[in-house]
Amino acid sequence: MKRIMVILAGAAALAGCGWTPGLRDRAEIVTEPSPCGVKRFDVYFAENEARLTNAALQAIGLTATQLQSCDIRRVQVVGLASATGDVTTNLNLSERRALAVAEALEAAGWPAPAFELGAVGDAGATTAAGTNEPLRRRTEVVVEAVERR
C-alpha cells in the first residue's frame, strides 16, 4: 500500500508541471491543415440524366467553398455512364455530364482554362461483382490546387 501512495504522489507532482524539458509547446507544432492540394470527388446522376441533382450541386458548392482560398491549377472532369445503353449514347451522355459539372464549377468561380474534360462512356466505369449500376452514373473530378502566395 505504501508503494502505491508514493507512485500516486509522484504522478500528482508531475501532473502539476507546465513544462517538460526538451518538449515544445503544442501550439508551436500543431497547425491547421491546408485546404489546398489534390482533391477528388464524384458527382452522381440519375439514370439517363446529365442534369445536376440538388446533392450534386451541394457537393460542388462545398468543394468550391473549401478551395476558395486556393489557386486552382488543374481540374480533370471525366464523365461516365452505365452499361445499359449503346456505346454512342453512353459516350454522349458522359460528355454532357462532364460539361454540366464543369459549368457548375466555373459558375462557382473556378477558372475555365484549368479544366480538362473527358468522357469514357461505360468503358471506364468499373464495378466490383455484385455492385449496383448507379455507381457508374457519375462524373469523377480531380482538382489540383495550391496555396495563394
Number of domains in the chain: 1
Q: What CATH number is associated with residue 83?
A: 3.30.1330.60
Tell me whether residue 8 is in a domain.
no
| Residue 130 maps to a domain | yes
User: Which grid coordinates belong to 73?
Assistant: 491549377
* CA max distance for the chain: 84
Phi/psi at 126 (nearest 5 deg)?
A: -115, 135
Q: How many CA atoms within 13 Å lie on the side-chain side of 119?
A: 20
- Tens of pLDDT along 103-143? 999 998 888 888 899 888 877 555 545 555 567 788 999 99
Per the model's pLDDT, the better-predicted residue between 77 and 121 turns out to be: 77
pLDDT confidence tier of residue 82, bands split at 50, 70 and 90: confident
Instruction: Check residue 4 and give its pLDDT.
Output: 52
Q: Check pLDDT > 70 for residue 22.
A: no
Residue 12 is assigned to a structural domain of this protein: no
112 assigned to some structural domain: yes
What's the mean pLDDT in 71-90? 88
Is the pLDDT at 19 greater than 70? The verdict is no
Residue 17 in domain:
no
User: Can you tell me whether residue 79 is helix, strand or coil?
Assistant: strand
pTM of the model: 0.71
Distances (CA, A) of 87 to 16, 50, 51: 71, 16, 20
pLDDT at 77: 94
Residue 63 lies inside a defined structural domain of this protein? yes
pLDDT in tens, 52-67: 999 899 989 988 898 8
Structural domain harbouring 105: 37-147
Q: How much is the pLDDT for 51?
A: 96
Please check whether residue 44 lies inside any domain of the structure: yes
The answer to whether position 114 is within a domain reads yes
